[in-house]
A and B are shown apart, each in its own frame.
Chain A
Amino acid sequence: MCLAIPMRLEERDEFSGRVSLDGVSRQISLMLFPEAEVGQWLLVHAGYAISAIDEQQAEETLALLSEYAGEMMEL
């Protein structure tokens, strides 16, 4: 279960916001992740933001992957 995709928050009001990925956008609910900030990458599941992508953690993982790939990797 549980297809969830990172999408960027473009604008928001109290309970909902517009997220986009590669220029494709959709209205979603922020009820499950009210602290979302515009510009943040959110994890979106079934029309709801459920988390934000922690960029520092993502960078750390990529640094680790760079060792296996033998090349520098970045977001």
Chain B
Amino acid sequence: MKIPERILLAHGAGGRLSHELIEGVFLPAFSNPELESLDDAAILPELPPGRLAMTTDGHVVDPPTYPGGDLGSLSVNGTVNDLVMVGADPLYLSWALILEEGLEGEKLRQHVESARRAAEEAGVTIVAGDTKTVPRGRGDGIYAVSAGIGVVPEGRRVSDRRIEAGDAILLTGTAADHGATIMALRHGLEGPGLHSDCAPLNHLIGELWKGGIDIHAMHDPTRGGIATTCNEAASRSSLRFLLSAQAIPIAPGVYAVCEILGLDELYLASEGRALIFLPGNQSEAALEILHAHPQGRDAASIGVVLPAEAGHAPVELETLSGSLRPLDMLSGMDLPRIC
């Protein structure tokens, strides 16, 4: 079966062309018995014991392909990571695409291939899918929507309500690589050090569970970055987070992009990092485990949780000059600034 040169509206209409697309592009990539039945819904084997977790996520990214990833891998990893962040082991995903008429078939194939690879790396199965098309000019090439289910095994309780004063805040790698890479690409900057950190987090976090670490809460700092994610968690836990600028690992290229475009690295997205809140006395053990895993080499303890205090913002950064700077939520989009 061959790959169409360009996507036509009819590829999403459910007729012969839709079938050709399924059989030519999707089935070869995601072969598994659940999907291959081609029924209206996938019937899953019995799940392991535990509570069921479910999530869904829509994905748009401009440009859709960038160093270190593309929409295909992002839409799989994003959903996998959302499950991991609540303590679940991710198992099954659905994956739907909205394609703009005229999209090159080869580009579609590349996104499908990287979604396949991402699913394989994460060890999840894509059991359901769908494709719709929109007329040319009514979409932006390709959008993806994914949903996922996973199981939270007995004994894991991950919630912002468990964060307490004395907890340490760990970041599993350098900050803002994904966001800085995208912004750099949009504004004519390039460099060998710029690539998205997009990756599944289940293996890395799985090591912490295996090591007996009592993770209180976890978040992947995607949109809005570390600052926004910390604000959300701080407001849910009614505590104060103090981060250290010195301790936050930042790749030199990412820092340069932020300087040049007037962006703040603490507000840019990561797509393969986790912020982990855990008891302060387990911080070193957790870092040792993270450092031993290829994805966690740059992990660092970047802050502490304190009781709320009058006169202080819920999230503060100790700057390089030693002063305290309140970190607000991101307001609006983060736009490059020249002024």
| Interface of A toward B, CB cutoff 8 Å | 1-3, 5, 7, 20-27, 44-47
* Cβ–Cβ contact B339 & A22, under 8 A: no
CA distance A3 to B257 in the complex (A): 13
B255 nearest CB neighbor, chain A only: A22
* Cβ–Cβ contact A26 & B253, under 8 A: no
CA distance A29 to B224 in the complex (A): 32
Partner among A1, A21, A27 whose Cβ is within 8 Å of the Cβ of B260:
A21
**B residues 182-212 in Cβ contact with A at 8 Å:** 184, 187-194
* Cβ–Cβ contact A26 & B188, under 8 A: yes
Q: How many residues of B contact A (CB 8 A)?
A: 20
* Across-interface contacts of B191 in A (CB, < 8 A): 20, 22-25
**Distance of B33 from chain A, by nearest CB (Å):** 47
**B residues 314-339 in Cβ contact with A at 8 Å:** 337-339
* Cβ–Cβ contact B339 & A24, under 8 A: no
CA distance A36 to B193 in the complex (A): 26
* Cβ–Cβ contact A3 & B256, under 8 A: no
CA distance A21 to B256 in the complex (A): 6
**Distance of A2 from chain B, by nearest CB (Å):** 6
CA distance A70 to B300 in the complex (A): 29
Q: Indicate whether A23 sits within 8 Å of B339 (C-beta atoms), given known contacts A3-B262, A5-B259, A5-B260.
A: no
Partner among B184, B262, B337, B338 whose Cβ is within 8 Å of the Cβ of A24:
B184
**B residues 153-208 in Cβ contact with A at 8 Å:** 184, 187-194
The 8 nearest A-B residue pairs measured at CB: A24-B191, A22-B252, A22-B256, A1-B339, A24-B256, A21-B256, A23-B191, A3-B262
* Cβ–Cβ contact B253 & A24, under 8 A: yes
**Distance of B339 from chain A, by nearest CB (Å):** 4
* Cβ–Cβ contact B252 & A23, under 8 A: yes
* Across-interface contacts of A23 in B (CB, < 8 A): 191-193, 252-253, 256
Partner among B260, B338, B339 whose Cβ is within 8 Å of the Cβ of A26:
B260
Partner among A3, A21, A44 whose Cβ is within 8 Å of the Cβ of B337:
A3
Interface majority SS on A: helix, strand, loop or mixed?
strand
Interface majority SS on B: helix, strand, loop or mixed?
loop
CA distance A5 to B338 in the complex (A): 10
**B residues 213-269 in Cβ contact with A at 8 Å:** 252-253, 255-257, 259-260, 262
B261 nearest CB neighbor, chain A only: A3
* Cβ–Cβ contact A3 & B338, under 8 A: yes
* Across-interface contacts of B187 in A (CB, < 8 A): 26
* Cβ–Cβ contact A24 & B188, under 8 A: no
* Across-interface contacts of B255 in A (CB, < 8 A): 22
Partner among B188, B256, B339 whose Cβ is within 8 Å of the Cβ of A2:
B339
* Cβ–Cβ contact B338 & A21, under 8 A: no
* Cβ–Cβ contact B338 & A25, under 8 A: no
* Cβ–Cβ contact A26 & B262, under 8 A: no
Of the candidates B184, B259, B262, the one having the most CB atoms from chain A within 10 angstroms of its own CB is B259
A1 nearest CB neighbor, chain B only: B339
CA distance A46 to B253 in the complex (A): 19
B252 nearest CB neighbor, chain A only: A22
* Across-interface contacts of B260 in A (CB, < 8 A): 5, 7, 21, 24, 26, 44
* Cβ–Cβ contact B253 & A22, under 8 A: yes
Task: Please name 6 further chain A to chain B contacts, defined as beta carbons within 8 Å, in addition to the given A24-B184, A25-B190, A26-B187, sorted by A numbering.
Answer: A3-B262, A22-B255, A23-B192, A23-B193, A24-B191, A24-B194
CA distance A1 to B252 in the complex (A): 25
A18 nearest CB neighbor, chain B only: B190
Query: 1/0 per residue B12-31: CB within 8 Å of A?
Result: 00000000000000000000
* Across-interface contacts of A3 in B (CB, < 8 A): 262, 337-339
* Across-interface contacts of A45 in B (CB, < 8 A): 338
